[in-house]
Chain A
Amino acid sequence: MPGITREEVAHLARLARLELKPEELEHFAGQLDDIIGAVARVSEVADQDVPPTSHPLPLTNVMRADEVRPSLTPEQALSGAPAQEQQRFKVPQILGED
């Protein structure tokens, strides 16, 4: 079963906005291939009667009442922001749209 190709890793890196050098691409492609191979072995064991699982707990319908809880103050919310202006998070120019 094919794992992950170098091109696919490059594509993912681009989507994740990660700048990877050619040798890094090579390196991660190898590692990710191993990981995917390991995970693929699970599907060999899981037969049709085992439903796909996205959560380890056998729970459904965990909900909360629609009641307001205290929020952070704007100061707290912004305390970790690298830059701020007008009580807002300041981010670099957004490219690629409009």
Chain B
Amino acid sequence: MTTTTDLVSYEDALASYDPVMGLEVHVELGTKTKMFCGCSTELGAEPNSQTCPTCLGMPGALPVVNAIGIESAIKIGLALNCEIAEWCRFARKNYFYPDMPKNFQTSQYDEPIAFDGYLDVQLEDGETFRVQIERAHMEEDTGKSLHVGGATGRIHGASHSLLDYNRAGIPLIEIVTKPIEGAGARAPEVARAYVRELRELIKALGVSEARMEQGQMRCDVNLSLRPHGREKFGTRSETKNVNSLRSVERAARFEIQRHAAVLNGGGTIIQETRHFHEDTGSTTSGRVKEEAEDYRYFPEPDLVPIAPSRAWVEEIRSGLPELPLARRNRLLAEWGISAADMQSILNAGALDLILASIDAGADAASARKWWMGELARSANESGVPLDGLAITPEQVARVTELVSKGDLNDKLARQVIEGVLAGEGTPDEVVEKRGLKVVSDEGALTTAVEEAIAGNPGIADKIRGGKVAAAGALVGAVMKATRGQADAARVKELILEKLGVSEG
């Protein structure tokens, strides 16, 4: 960056202005084929190997809409508490840019398939914020450009561009919020929480993996400021293609600070698109926004209208899975944990892993304990996401099973997990190879207990005298003698038994 942007502090910005946001999220559907033709959507194919006359925009080629694309759009609409249109059409959005070989994008204009909904999102402190949904409509993705001759693939300074149309035509659902007002200083947090909740929702519906790092879900952040007490919105900027949760929050925060600086200086905000820069957390000017009329939308003559029957809509509604917020609230109650605990589980990306371990036979408390304790720590230290660790939910379930059967104690279980993470094999293989078994041979344990008592007569006397708490020292001695492989609870029982004391 050669120019620096004037910013005012976040606190000062909020003291003078009230932020209003509009979020537009694009989700790439996980259909097998494109929206309007039978070309595969598989990632990683060689350039231009997944195209046909339709998605290349050849004269005379006719599009036919993907039924799963429509169904997915309805699912998303219903999950967002939207009305589903009884009749709607596709429209051509005309523009000249080589990322669409047709010179238009097939989209929806004034007849979206879903409209007027809401999504409740939870903030860090457990507070719920309702985000109103304006619409969710269907459209198609564009091709990928490679800019040659400039610095690191940027358009600036490029001599020419190379186009791969494999992505052109992949189904997209664009979800647009109504203006989000009243969030105040929490606006950036609301933006992040909204995108996260939407991502969880999309994943739960099974319509897309919604991986933001792969561009399957991306967010445009519209933001404007108005002086406190004014009804009318200020001029907005639109920060395009923000593709991580953290970036959504940072982009909103940066724009609040930038707008405030411009307005404080007596300037006016230009309505324009802006680019977000991951490295600096800042935005820079893109192009000045074209007026909506300039796209010359008109109904797509090559596609017939979509009129989802109410019976079909109700059938889809009845088949919807339990939605993430409802599921989290249910689990919260079932597990007896606090909203803050649930928030940490979410932040750690542990919920699905914990549930998968429970499905594989672990009890809820143990599954939570391992994923949020040992494993979260390990993921943190090695800088990988929790689901990137070299251990499966099933393996974690097996470890908890070995603990509950008394074959392992917690200390040994930690070693087993360490072994699995180090690539030493399955939990059972690690147990075998490292010889990690709780000593349950009563004879060997009894000997170790007797030795511990004999070696610590002073402590033994205290225990005999009723200081049961002192038994801990003897348990420690036995654990040491058995290299941690004894069942501590059983050791304590044996010690008390030998000394003729009962607990409590």
A52-98 residues with Cβ-Cβ distance < 8 A to B are 54-55, 57, 59-74, 77-78, 85-94, 96-98
B196 close to chain A: CB less than 8 A: no
| Residue numbers in A under 8 Å from B298 (CB-CB) | 54
Given A60-B87, A60-B306, A65-B67, are A89 and B299 also a contact pair (CB < 8 Å)? no
- How far is the CB of B101 from the nearest CB of chain A, in Å? 8
Chain B residues in 8 Å Cβ range of A98: 154-156, 275, 286
B146 touches A88 (CB 8 A): yes
Complex contact B305–A60 (CB within 8 A): yes
Q: A89 near B89 (CB under 8 angstroms)?
A: no
A15 within 8 A of B: yes
Which chain A residues border B300 with CB–CB below 8 Å?
A: 54
In the complex, the answer to whether A15 meets B163 with C-beta atoms within 8 Å is no
Given A60-B305, A87-B47; A93-B161 close (CB under 8 Å) = yes
Residues of A within 8 A of B101 (CB): 89
Cβ proximity bits B25-56 to A, threshold 8 Å, 1 near / 0 not? 00000011100011110000011111111001
Q: Across the interface, do A88 and B47 meet the contact criterion of CB distance under 8 Å? A: yes
Q: Interface size of A by Cβ–Cβ distance < 8 Å?
A: 38
Q: Are B51 and A77 in contact (CB under 8 A)?
A: yes
Query: B94 to chain A: which residues have CB within 8 Å?
Result: 15
Q: How far is the CA of A59 from the CA of B31 in the complex (A)?
A: 25
- Would A86 and B287 count as touching, CB distance under 8 A? no
Report which of B39, B146, B154, B162 forms a contact with A69, defined as CB distance below 8 A.
B39
Q: Is the CB of B32 within 8 A of A72?
A: no
Q: How far is the CA of A66 from the CA of B30 in the complex (A)?
A: 11
Q: Does B294 contact A (CB under 8 A)?
A: yes
The reply on B185 being an interface residue by CB < 8 A is: no
Q: How far is the CB of A78 from chain B (nearest CB, A)?
A: 6
A21 interface hit (Cβ, 8 Å): no
When C-beta atoms are compared, the residue in chain A nearest to B45 turns out to be A71
* A70 to B52 alpha-carbon distance, docked (Å): 8
Contacts of B70 in A (CB 8 A): 63
- Cβ of A17 within 8 Å of any chain B Cβ, yes or no, is yes
Q: Is B406 part of the binding interface, using a Cβ–Cβ cutoff of 8 Å?
A: no
The answer on a CB contact under 8 Å between A68 and B39 is yes
Bound form: Cα–Cα A54–B51 in Å: 27
Q: Assuming A66-B31, A68-B33, is B65 touching A60 (CB within 8 A)?
A: no
Residues of A within 8 A of B40 (CB): 68, 71
List chain B residues, Cβ under 8 A from A97. 155, 286-287
A67 touches B48 (CB 8 A): no
Chain A: interface secondary structure? Answer: loop
List the A side residues contacting B51 at CB < 8 Å. 71-72, 77
Task: Say how far B138's CB is from chain A's closest CB, in angstroms.
Answer: 12
Report chain A residues within 8 Å CB of B66.
63-64, 66
Residues of chain A within 8 A of B147, CB atoms compared? 94
Interface membership of B504, Cβ < 8 A: no
Q: Which one of B46, B64, B154 contacts A64 once the chains associate, using CB atoms below 8 Å? A: B64
Q: Once the chains are docked, how many angstroms separate the CA of A73 from the CA of B50?
A: 8
- Picked from B46, B286, B287, B299, the residue with its CB within 8 Å of the CB of A74 is B46
Are the CB atoms of B39 and A93 closer together than 8 Å?
no
A54 in contact with B301 given A77-B165, A88-B163 (CB within 8 Å): yes
A94 x B32 contact (CB < 8 A): no
Considering the complex, give the chain B residue whose CB is closest to the CB of A73: B49
Q: Are A17 and B96 in contact (CB under 8 A)?
A: yes
Chain A residues, CB < 8 A from B450 = none
Please tell me which one of the listed residues A71, A73, A91 contacts residue B163 in the complex, with CB atoms under 8 A apart.
A91
| B401 at interface, CB cutoff 8 A | no
B483 at the interface (CB under 8 A from A): no
Assembled-state Cα–Cα distance A74/B46 (Å): 8
Given contacts A64-B38, A74-B49, A97-B286, whether A54 and B299 have CB atoms under 8 Å apart is yes
| C-alpha spacing A69/B305, complex, angstroms | 24
CA distance A67 to B70 in the complex (A): 14
Query: Is B307 positioned at the interface, with any CB of A under 8 Å from its CB?
Result: yes
Which of B52, B96, B304, B306 has the largest number of chain A CB atoms within 10 A?
B304
Chain A residues near B56 (CB, 8 Å)?
A: 72, 77
The answer to whether B165 and A89 touch across the interface, beta carbons within 8 angstroms, is yes
CA of A80 to CA of B97, assembled, Å:
18
Contact B305 A55 (CB under 8 A): yes
- Would you call B52 and A62 a contact (CB within 8 A)? no
Minimum C-beta distance from B199 to chain A (A): 22
Please encode chain B, from 79 to 101, with 1 for each CB lying within 8 Å of some chain A CB and 0 for all others. Answer: 00000000101000010111001
Q: Which 5 A-B pairs have the closest CB atoms?
A: A69-B38, A54-B299, A88-B162, A63-B67, A66-B68
Contacts A86-B146, A94-B158 given; 5 further ones with Cβ under 8 A? A54-B299, A60-B305, A67-B33, A72-B56, A74-B46
CB<8 Å pairs between A and B, sample of 10: A12-B296, A15-B296, A62-B65, A66-B33, A66-B66, A66-B68, A69-B38, A78-B48, A90-B162, A94-B158
